[in-house]
Amino acid sequence: MHPLNKDTTNLLPWKLYLSITIESLLTFYIATFCIAMYFIHRGTQWVTLSVVMGILYLFVIFTCAKRIFQALPVSALMLIIPLAPLIAIGMVISLIPILQYL
């Protein structure tokens, strides 16, 4: 195949899987950071806004999970399901120094 005639419609599946995984992890990390910053620096009316933040946080988690379940094959899901809690705990623990600095 000539290098000038690249077919952009035929992407390798691992690139798609990798991009979806990275996007979902970054989205979860940013959402966790935002909710942690909110609870660290909450104001006087924190109860009503914490309910809204909790609903938004759950929406982000369910959206990421839905996207991963729709895109990845069953074999990849069987590998990621046992590792997902470990990855989530690692991401939350990695936020601690950042939150202490701010």
Look up residue 60 and give its amino acid: V
Distance CA 77, CA 42 (A): 37
pLDDT for 55 beyond 90: yes
Query: In this predicted structure, what is the pLDDT of residue 9?
Result: 55
Give residue-wise pLDDT tens across range 24-43: 889 999 999 988 888 888 77
Q: Which residues contact 39 (CB under 8 A, 6 or more apart)?
A: 50
CA dihedral 52, 81, 27, 51 (to 10 degrees): 10
Query: In this predicted structure, what is the pLDDT of residue 5?
Result: 55
